[in-house]
Chains A and B, each alone.
Chain A
Amino acid sequence: MKTYNTDVTIIGGGAAGLAAAIEVNKGGKEVLILERGIELGGILMQCIHNGFGIKEFNKELTGPEYAQKFINEVNQLNIPYKLDTIVIEITLDKKIYAVNKIEGLIEINSKTIILAMGCRERTRGAINVPGFRPAGIFTAGQAQRFVNIEGYLPGKNIVILGSGDIGMIMARRLTWEGCNVKAVVEIQPYVSGLLRNEIQCLEDYGIPLITNYSLTKIHGKNRVKGVTISKVDRNFDRIIGSDQFIECDTLLLSVGLIPENELTRIAGAEISSMGGPIVDNNLETTLEGVFACGNVLQVHDLVDLVTAESKRAGRNAIEYINKRYKKKLKGIEKIHLSAGHNINYVKPDNICLGEILGEIIINFRVKNPDRRIQINIKDETNKTLYKKKKSYVIPSEMIELKINLNNMELNPKCNGLIVEVIPQLEPLIE
């Protein structure tokens, strides 16, 4: 068995892994990327539409263009990577075992590991729809890969479940390729993706958007013959008598993404209820020297934010190797951050006070859309330490706060903070 030694091993060569690798290399440390696909770039390579890079490059790029810029930089810097290589185990002492066709089983010893495996799509199993298991049911990203990379169409008459951005972008993509997209069906009363996609992907092509409806049956035994959709009430319960049949041969599911943490689990890191590993403000997991960034940690709306987060993970990995920051601190010096009113999740899960140099970044998503709200960070005694007003919040937009705990009147005995989103108390001055 061949053995490699390096400072930092990065698992995953997509948007997150590439940005982290470049940052580590620029910081003077050795880095190795392990990628299971046949090329670098990850999921960006199949996201051929534009709209990437507005924050990072100040212009609109397509997914492959965004990835290519990073791939070119990795090549210029001579950063080593292994393609077609899948990690099968991470041990507690940070040994990585991986396999590929050329070398067979390999072992990698590194001082730190950065997890950058991305996320995967929720499938039919996650939404419990009755019916047989006919051909013609795809997740939206799977269909996207077939259409944009492999060169196959999933079908002719298509119904898309879920109005997230991938679902709407696939509606336009399939229309361009000559398919008939019969409807995009959304269980919520509102579109879950960006307004821009609703207009440029659906309205431009007259594709019906059916909100407040849910999929209740898939028809067909060998091939999808149609779907039944039903109107739902406020609790998402089916309203009897509201069933509608739509004839189609293909059903695309765009029903959410989940961080892909099988390896994280094998390694022994603790996973939070939202699916990503528990991390502190350094993006370090509960395993010392193992960091996580990108969609494996939390599903981002913009790749630009993945890049920024991953650079941060890269820098922290270097700091860890240089031992510039102290190891985990015990007791009251670690603050737990929890989700309060109208908050779906919040990252990081913990803040290590002893390591704070200044600003820390907090990300969260709301459960329900709201207007004229106030974001509060409170301690356990209900004392508000931070507040910020915002004109609107929507679940599909991840919110980022940069806060400086040094400026807060933090009780030294505090061991928990709560983030909440509540309606503004005083009227907005206009």
Chain B
Amino acid sequence: MTECEDRGIIKTIRCIVCPTGCLVEVRKDIGGEISFQGYTCKRGLEYAQQEHFDPKRIITTTIRVEDGIHPLLPIRSDSPLLKEKLSYAFKIIAKTKVKAPIKMGDILIKGIADENVNIIASRDMIKKKVE
């Protein structure tokens, strides 16, 4: 048994709310209760709880676009997606192709890996002029 496990620490999370970067210890007692220690502000506790129980990330990547002035369009998810679902979402995005013209905020993929998360355009993409 390592020293960490001995003290009931199952994970340490480095807080990113501010540059102080507090090290928050996640502990599990004998009854299975989870507690947090080492944070120095309320936002730090909220961050550690979110990061432990429900880690989420915003997706920002590109998608193939036809007829645009560029071959790729930058996109994002309109809300954070569970970390474990990211790679599945990337696979769907890689298989999708959209068509210019596109306006910033247009929904390109509805409900990606989660029905409440949509993929939206990060910018306008005007049509390429045919010469």
Q: Which residues of A contact B (CB under 8 A)?
A: 38-39, 41, 45, 48-50, 60, 62-65, 67-68, 71, 147-151, 173, 176, 194-196, 199-200, 203-204, 391-392, 394, 397
Contact = CB atoms under 8 A, between A and B. Distances in A.
A49 B58 CA distance: 9
A50 B60 contact: yes
Contact of A392 (B19, B72, B76, B124): B19
B58 A176 contact: no
Nearest to B18: A195
Contacts of A41: 123
A148 B62 CA distance: 7
Interface string B55-83: 00110111010000111101010000001
Nearest to B90: A176
Contacts of B83: 204
B72 A65 contact: no
Given A195-B19, A196-B16, A149 B60 contact: no
B2 interface: no
Nearest to B17: A196
A195 B61 contact: no
B74 A48 contact: yes
A67 B124 CA distance: 10
A204 B71 CA distance: 29
A62 B14 contact: no
16 contacts: A39-B69, A48-B60, A50-B60, A62-B74, A65-B122, A147-B62, A148-B62, A150-B72, A151-B64, A151-B71, A194-B19, A196-B16, A199-B16, A204-B57, A392-B19, A397-B19
Nearest to B123: A64
B41 to A, nearest CB: 13
A194 to B, nearest CB: 8
A68 B123 contact: yes
Contact of B69 (A38, A48, A173): A38
A148 to B, nearest CB: 6
A71 B124 CA distance: 10
A391 B22 CA distance: 14
Contact of A62 (B16, B19, B122, B124): B122
Given A65-B104, A149-B70, A48 B62 contact: yes
Contacts of A392: 19-20
A48 B61 contact: yes
Given A38-B69, A149-B72, A199-B14, 9 more contacts: A39-B69, A45-B74, A48-B60, A48-B74, A49-B60, A68-B104, A151-B71, A204-B83, A391-B20
B101 interface: no
Contacts of B90: 176
Contacts of A38: 69
Contacts of B72: 148-151
Contacts of A63: 74, 122
A65 B123 contact: yes
A48 B62 CA distance: 8
Nearest to B58: A50
B111 interface: no
Nearest to A397: B19
Contacts of B123: 41, 45, 64-65, 67-68
Contacts of B58: 50, 60
A64 B16 contact: no
Contacts of B21: 195
Contacts of A173: 61
Nearest to A44: B123
B92 to A, nearest CB: 13
Given A48-B61, A195-B21, A200 B69 contact: no
A50 B76 contact: yes
Contacts of A65: 76, 104, 122-123
Contacts of B61: 48, 173, 176
Nearest to B15: A195
A195 B60 contact: no
Contacts of A195: 14, 16, 19, 21
A62 B104 CA distance: 11
A102 to B, nearest CB: 13
A200 B104 CA distance: 25
A334 B76 CA distance: 49
Given A48-B122, A50-B76, A151-B72, A200 B16 contact: yes
Interface string B38-61: 000000000000000000011011
Contacts of B76: 48, 50, 62, 65
Nearest to B51: A199
Most buried by A among B57, B62, B69: B62
Contacts of A67: 123
A191 to B, nearest CB: 10
